[in-house]
Structure 1
Amino acid sequence: MATSLFSRSGSARALSHRDFTLLWLGTLVSNIGTWMESVALGVYVTQVTGQAAWTGGVAALTHLPSLVLAPLGGALADRFDRRTFMAVCICVQALLAALLTVLAATGNLSVPWVAVLSLLNGAFSTLVIPCATALTVAVVPPEDLHNALSLDSAQFNLGRIIGPVLAALVLTQVGIAGALFVNTLSFLAVLLALAGMRGAASPLPPKAEALWAGIMRGVRLAWTDPGIALALGSGALVGLLISPFVGLVPVFALKVLGGDATTTSMLLTAQGTGAVIAAFGSGAIVARMGRRAFLEAALLLVGLCSAAYWLSPSLPVALVTLFILGAVYLVAFTGLKTVCQARTPPELQARVSSLFLLLVNAGYILGVWGQGALSDRVGVRPITAGCALLFFGIVVGMRTLRARGLAALGT
Structure 2
Amino acid sequence: MHFGRYDYAAFLTFFAYAAGSVIVPVSLVELTHDLGFSLEDGGMTAGGALQIGRTIPMVLAMLVVGFIAGRWGNRTTLGTSVLLMSSGIALCSIAPSYGILFCALVLAGFGEGVIEGIATPFVQDLHPKEPGRYINLTHSFWSVGVLATVLLSGGLLSLGVSWRILTAAVALIGCVAASLILIPAKHGAHAVVHQTLSLNNVWTQALQILRFPLFWRFYAAMFLAGGGEFCLTFWSASHIRLHFNASAWASGLGVACFALAMVIGRMASGYFVPQNGLRKLILIAAALGTMVCILLPLSPNIWIFDGLLFLAGLATAPFWPSIQSYATHRMPKLDSTMLLILLSCAGVPGCGVFTYFMGAMSNQSGSLTLAFYLVPVAYILITVLIATDRARKG
Please report the TM-score for the alignment, with normalisation by the length of structure 1.
0.82
Deviations 1:331-375 (CA, angstroms, capped at 9, x unpaired):
222221111233455882222122111112222222111121111
Question: Which residue does the alignment assign to 1:85?
Answer: 77
Please tell me whether the aligned partners of residues 221 and 385 of structure 2 are also in contact (alpha carbons under 8 angstroms). Answer: no
Please tell me whether the aligned partners of residues 244 and 368 of structure 1 are also in contact (alpha carbons under 8 angstroms). Answer: yes
The within-5 A match list for 1:234-249 is: 234-240=221-227, 243-249=230-236
Residue 55 of structure 1 aligns to which amino acid in structure 2?
A: G
Please tell me whether the aligned partners of residues 74 and 353 of structure 1 are also in contact (alpha carbons under 8 angstroms). Answer: no
Please tell me whether the aligned partners of residues 147 and 259 of structure 2 are also in contact (alpha carbons under 8 angstroms). Answer: yes
Q: 1:242 to 1:75 in 2, by over 3 A?
A: same
Q: 1:117 to 1:149 in 2, by over 3 A?
A: same
Question: Which residue does the alignment assign to 2:3?
Answer: 17
Question: Which residue does the alignment assign to 2:364?
Answer: 377
Distance (whole Å) between structure 2 residues aligned to residue 188 and residue 65 of structure 1: 20
**SS at structure 2 position matched to 1:248:** helix
Residue 222 of structure 2 aligns to which amino acid in structure 1?
A: G
Question: Which residue does the alignment assign to 2:255?
Answer: 268
RMSD: 3.0
Question: Which residue does the alignment assign to 1:4?
Answer: none
The within-5 A match list for 1:213-362 is: 214-215=202-203, 217-224=205-212, 226=214, 228-240=215-227, 243-282=230-269, 286=273, 290-344=277-331, 348-362=335-349
Residue 407 of structure 1 aligns to which amino acid in structure 2?
A: R
**SS at structure 1 position matched to 2:108:** helix
Distance (whole Å) between structure 1 residues aligned to residue 194 and residue 224 of structure 2: 36
Q: Does 1:115 align with 2:106?
A: no
Please tell me whether the aligned partners of residues 22 and 149 of structure 2 are also in contact (alpha carbons under 8 angstroms). Answer: yes
Distance (whole Å) between structure 2 residues aligned to residue 206 and residue 350 of structure 1: 12
Distance apart, 1:326 and its partner CA: 0.8
Distance (whole Å) between structure 2 residues aligned to residue 122 and residue 131 of structure 1: 14
Question: Which residue does the alignment assign to 2:180?
Answer: 193
Deviations 1:206-262 (CA, angstroms, capped at 9, x unpaired):
52x52xx73463243254152x33222112123345642222123312222222321
Select between 237-246 and 306-315 the one with higher mean Cα deviation. 237-246
**SS at structure 1 position matched to 2:354:** helix
Distance (whole Å) between structure 2 residues aligned to residue 30 and residue 392 of structure 1: 27
Q: 1:241 to 1:130 in 2, by over 3 A?
A: closer
Question: Which residue does the alignment assign to 1:179?
Answer: 166
Distance (whole Å) between structure 2 residues aligned to residue 53 and residue 173 of structure 1: 26
Q: Does 1:146 align with 2:132?
A: yes
Distance (whole Å) between structure 2 residues aligned to residue 288 and residue 22 of structure 1: 22
Q: Quick one: which of 158, 177, 191 aligns to 2:144?
A: 158
Please tell me whether the aligned partners of residues 265 and 317 of structure 2 are also in contact (alpha carbons under 8 angstroms). Answer: yes
Question: Which residue does the alignment assign to 1:9?
Answer: none
Question: Which residue does the alignment assign to 1:135?
Answer: 122
Residue 67 of structure 2 aligns to which amino acid in structure 1?
A: A
Q: 1:408 to 1:190 in 2, by over 3 A?
A: farther
**Corresponding residue pairs, total:** 382
**SS at structure 2 position matched to 1:79:** helix
Please tell me whether the aligned partners of residues 92 and 104 of structure 2 are also in contact (alpha carbons under 8 angstroms). Answer: yes
Deviations 1:369-407 (CA, angstroms, capped at 9, x unpaired):
11211111113222322x2343355457669xxxx6232
The alignment-based identity, stated in percent, is 13
Please report the TM-score for the alignment, with normalisation by the length of structure 2.
0.86
Residue 190 of structure 1 aligns to which amino acid in structure 2?
A: A
Distance apart, 1:182 and its partner CA: 0.7
Distance (whole Å) between structure 2 residues aligned to residue 242 and residue 85 of structure 1: 26
**SS at structure 2 position matched to 1:179:** helix
